[in-house]
Amino acid sequence: MGFSRTRLVESRIADLCIRNTNLEEHPQVAFPRCLAANSRQTYAPQPSKLALEVQADDRREALTQLRHLFAKVPHGPEVDEIERISNHLFALGYGNDQVVLDLSVARGLAYYTGPVFEAVLLGASHFGPVFGGGRYDELVTTFRGERVRATGGSIGVDRLVAAMRELGRLNRYKSTSRVLVMVFDTEMIGDYLAMAFELRRNNVPTELYLGPEQKLGRQLRYADACDIPVALIYGADEKEKGVVTLKDMRVGRDQARVFPDRQEWLEGRLGQQAVQRAELAERVKQLLHLVRLRDASRR
């Protein structure tokens, strides 16, 4: 974490230069050309890296160095603000091994008005920050005409995915969906939408089949290719009986190896079970739990 470029460097250059009558005697406080207090004379101090060299393994030590560096400069509340955030992070359990104070962090967007932050993945820091943001109290004013204090950030998805792939932390499944709602009858699309919505509301990642294939077998092959463990079959017969057929795709796949006759395998409806429509969400969760246990036992 660090200061925003707009607040500590750009916005306060004038104050720092005008109020510091001994600027020439303190070249360590090096900013671009600054206007002196009571004259039009300008100064162009040599750029200094001292501020960027404020580094320490302990955030408290880094803040001590920072206060010493700016001891003769009216720096305002910025250092106090960073120290307060650091103390809060310590209270939350984020020690020096997880959060560092780095004054080289400078977000390029001009709407930041306070502290900024960036995050890297431990073990993949060479990818650079995968998350960053900061304080921007004036941004909402631009659009709504009222001052609203705000802090936000954004994720670099492509960089994050690349780093997670290198760390071996990506989901091993080909699809995030755990259930495929198959379209058995296009006249019943409302029923399929309702079931997909119900399962999603119950935290079950669900996909409604929207491909061109209407044959049940080809939709099952789609579920198998995407490694979706449960297929939901619902037609006119199931609707009349008030049931839904759940198919455990992996049971069918495993048993297919021991059935020499394909027709016998199809008629056996392996891995299929009929559940009451009113119990759909709960029964799907139970089946997915069994799938997870079975997968864990095979590892």
Question: What confidence score (pLDDT) does residue 143 get?
Answer: 85
Sorted by sequence, the CB contacts under 8 Å of residue 163 that are 6+ apart come out as 121, 124, 127, 130
Query: How many domains in the chain?
Result: 2
89 found inside a domain: yes
The answer on 34 and 113 residing in a single domain is yes
Task: Tell me the average confidence (pLDDT) per consecutive run of 10 residues in the chain, 299 residues long.
Answer: 42 30 34 30 41 80 86 73 93 93 79 89 90 88 85 92 88 84 92 96 96 87 92 94 93 53 49 93 95 81
The C-alpha atoms of residue 269 and residue 252 are separated, in whole angstroms, by 8
Question: What confidence score (pLDDT) does residue 1 get?
Answer: 63
pLDDT tens per residue across span 176-199: 899 999 998 889 999 999 999 999
The answer on 83 and 44 residing in a single domain is yes
The answer on 212 and 159 residing in a single domain is no
Question: What confidence score (pLDDT) does residue 32 get?
Answer: 32
173 found inside a domain: no
Sorted by sequence, the CB contacts under 8 Å of residue 190 that are 6+ apart come out as none
Supply the CATH number for residue 48's domain. 3.30.930.10
What does the radius of gyration of the chain's CA atoms come to, in whole angstroms? 30
User: How many C-beta atoms surround the C-beta of residue 84 within 10 A?
Assistant: 12
Q: Is 13 left (phi over 0), alpha (psi -120 to 50) or beta?
A: alpha
The C-alpha atoms of residue 61 and residue 59 are separated, in whole angstroms, by 5
Question: What confidence score (pLDDT) does residue 33 get?
Answer: 29
pLDDT tens per residue across span 81-103: 889 999 999 999 999 999 998 88
Question: 244: closest CA among 178, 177, 179?
Answer: 179
The answer on 105 and 61 residing in a single domain is yes
